[in-house]
Chains A and B, each alone.
Chain A
């Protein structure tokens, strides 16, 4: 018993170490939120590129090929490697690790988000667009007023999923010397020669964060489903 409390004391209390976990969590959340926003912006653009209409006589538009190449490259390489390339090659002169990591994860996430959004738009009944067009609304107006709001409902659960994956994926930023929650826990365990408390502690923090997020997403989804009784 005494042993456990000593371990707990060493892992969290002494030298105000608990503050390090909080700072680490702050870095984790900061990167995840920025990357999430970048990912959604890139994902939307890629999805629209993939859905853009080809010229007459062509199977796909030029935009489709560009977006497809992007998605293929991002999905075809490990995200750790993408992070290392961004940090040591593309932005080797940058000192702002959080920014580079956010960008790297955002570029990565955008590829996955684009597929989610594309599928969400295609899942909206074709008749909705036809009805809008038959009334004289333009394609863009119908998209904005009718198709995208319905697609939003379709994509919310998988986007939430993607964001949760993203939060956990940020645990690799230790590779570029950023002190996120995972790296803090690992550093403390190497200082105290005791792995259990810091690692399990970090795991619990991740779990609680993601549980809260899941509950929020479920509440939002319920609100959006009001109105349709399907």
Chain B
């Protein structure tokens, strides 16, 4: 579904991604772990071109999205993204946050979009917040609504950029539960996370990124119980 070839990215002379290549198949749940500053978030943000890579190719369903001629807005309609800091639209109600893009992009009528939004809100247990503004919600509620907002576009893949890192500990569970439910429904997902237990439980593949390359990747159980590289061993000894 997503194919990445020799992806490189430099920020202010510092090479963050030093050539990353991988294939992500339909239905896979890829968890990306690694120390901070390793380039894992940059890699994820390159997948929908929020970060423009310096070189390399990204293919999404036989479309070369790194080609400047590709209409990236059209591609992004199929790739949902959830941010660490939620990024709900502060000037819109929860309902408008969810329906804005589908309606503006002509994918749904206002009524259809509202219907979908209510169904999705029900799934995450936040129907009663439809008319609230983001500022009145807790972090966990904001993130669940941010997930719903992405899902309302009916995406083919979901990208999660440390979705629980900005949450108070007692709210992490409610968000992970929603993501887990999504995984069980068969959604293709790429998740940058520090929640090792969650990566182990939900992911079909765990990717350890360090120093701008994929240092090691494997099925979760194997990766966590039998790490090969010294870097991964060191990393796991610190976080587990």
Which of A's residues lie within 8 Å of B, judged by CB? 125, 127-128, 130-138, 141, 145-146, 149-150, 153, 227-230
Q: Kindly list chain B residues whose C-beta atoms are within 8 Å of the C-beta of A125.
A: 87, 90
| A135–B153 CB distance below 8 A | yes
| A131–B135 CB distance below 8 A | no
Q: Kindly list chain A residues whose C-beta atoms are within 8 Å of the C-beta of B14.
A: none
Does B198 interact with chain A (Cβ within 8 Å)? no
Q: Add 11 more A-B contacts to A131-B83, A134-B48, A227-B135 (CB < 8 A).
A: A127-B86, A134-B150, A135-B101, A136-B74, A136-B76, A136-B153, A137-B73, A137-B100, A145-B100, A227-B91, A229-B136
Q: How far is the CB of A2 from chain B (nearest CB, A)?
A: 62
- For the complex, what is the distance from the CA of A131 to the CA of B101, rounded to whole Å? 10
| A145–B104 CB distance below 8 A | yes
Q: Kindly list chain B residues whose C-beta atoms are within 8 Å of the C-beta of A128.
A: 87, 89-90
Checking B77, B83, B101, B133 against A130 with a beta-carbon cut-off of 8 angstroms, the contacting residue is: B83
Q: How far is the CB of A37 from chain B (nearest CB, A)?
A: 24
Q: How far is the CB of A7 from chain B (nearest CB, A)?
A: 55
| B83–A135 CB distance below 8 A | no
Highest count of chain B CB atoms <10 Å: which of A125, A137, A153: A137
- For the complex, what is the distance from the CA of A214 to the CA of B146, rounded to whole Å? 38
- For the complex, what is the distance from the CA of A201 to the CA of B86, rounded to whole Å? 56
| B91–A149 CB distance below 8 A | yes
Q: How far is the CB of B111 from chain A (nearest CB, A)?
A: 19
Of the four ranges (under 10, 10 to 19, 20 to 34, 35 or more), the interface on chain B belongs to 20 to 34
Which of B's residues lie within 8 Å of A, judged by CB? 48, 50, 73-77, 79-81, 83, 85-92, 100-101, 104-105, 133, 135-136, 146, 149-150, 153
CB nearest neighbor in B for A134: B81
Q: How far is the CB of B35 from chain A (nearest CB, A)?
A: 23
CB nearest neighbor in B for A135: B101
Q: Kindly list chain A residues whose C-beta atoms are within 8 Å of the C-beta of B89.
A: 128, 131-132, 145-146
Q: Provided the pairs A127-B85, A150-B90, A228-B135 are in contact, do residues A134 and B73 lie with their beta carbons within 8 angstroms?
A: no
9 chain-A/chain-B pairs, Cβ below 8 angstroms: A127-B83, A127-B87, A130-B50, A131-B81, A132-B89, A135-B101, A136-B105, A146-B92, A227-B135
Q: Kindly list chain B residues whose C-beta atoms are within 8 Å of the C-beta of A133.
A: 50, 73, 76
CB nearest neighbor in B for A136: B77
Q: Kindly list chain A residues whose C-beta atoms are within 8 Å of the C-beta of B50.
A: 130, 133-134
Q: Provided the pairs A145-B104, A228-B133, A230-B135 are in contact, do residues A131 and B88 lie with their beta carbons within 8 angstroms?
A: yes
| B133–A227 CB distance below 8 A | yes
Q: Kindly list chain A residues whose C-beta atoms are within 8 Å of the C-beta of B149.
A: 135
Q: Kindly list chain B residues whose C-beta atoms are within 8 Å of the C-beta of A136.
A: 73-77, 101, 105, 153
Q: How far is the CB of B173 from chain A (nearest CB, A)?
A: 24
Q: How far is the CB of B148 from chain A (nearest CB, A)?
A: 12
- For the complex, what is the distance from the CA of A127 to the CA of B150, rounded to whole Å? 15
Q: Kindly list chain A residues whose C-beta atoms are within 8 Å of the C-beta of B146.
A: 131
Q: How far is the CB of B77 from chain A (nearest CB, A)?
A: 4
Checking A127, A137, A149, A227 against B101 with a beta-carbon cut-off of 8 angstroms, the contacting residue is: A137
| B135–A141 CB distance below 8 A | no
